[in-house]
Amino acid sequence: QVQLQESGPGLVKPSETLSLTCTVSGGSISTYYWTWIRQVPGKGLEWIGFIYYSGTTNYNPSLKSRVTMSVDTSKNQFSLNLTSVTAADTAMYYCARRVNIALHETLDYWGQGILVTVSS
């Protein structure tokens, strides 16, 4: 059974960098796309972007100037960095596995999420 677990600081100061890691267990990180999604408390879901195991990325243009994703296949982990954070970046951050089935995209496994609060 594939499991994803987000980790990182739950509190980040304004203007600093939010750094999260998603550890994949029960399966290999290779051959899949890995996605970050966030959810402001009480609000909807926002797609941040994905990273392929080879390192190819695609970011949401609304965050592109501040987002960097990376992957470490040796550790079965991928990461999210979001720079210059503000209170608007306070959210639950989820990592998820993207799988293409019959040419359709699915997010079939999700982490439990990690709440990151931006506050001084």
Q: Which is nearer to another protein, 39 or 73 (CB)?
A: 39
Shortest spacing between CB 2 and another protein, in angstroms:
13
Please measure the distance between the N-terminal and C-terminal CA atoms of the chain and give it in whole angstroms.
39
Q: Which is nearer to another protein, 29 or 48 (CB)?
A: 48
Q: Residue 57 is encoded by which pair of tokens?
A: 């990325």
Shortest spacing between CB 97 and another protein, in angstroms:
10
User: How far apart, in whole angstroms, are the C-alpha atoms of residue 34 and residue 29?
Assistant: 8
User: How many residues are listed for the chain in this entry?
Assistant: 120
Q: Which is nearer to another protein, 72 or 105 (CB)?
A: 105
Applying CB under 8 A, the residues found at the interface with another protein are: 44-47, 49, 58-62, 94, 96, 101-108, 110-113
Q: Which is nearer to another protein, 88 or 103 (CB)?
A: 103
User: How far apart, in whole angstroms, are the C-alpha atoms of residue 51 and residue 49?
Assistant: 7
Shortest spacing between CB 75 and another protein, in angstroms:
22
CB of 4 within 8 A of CB of 110? Answer: yes
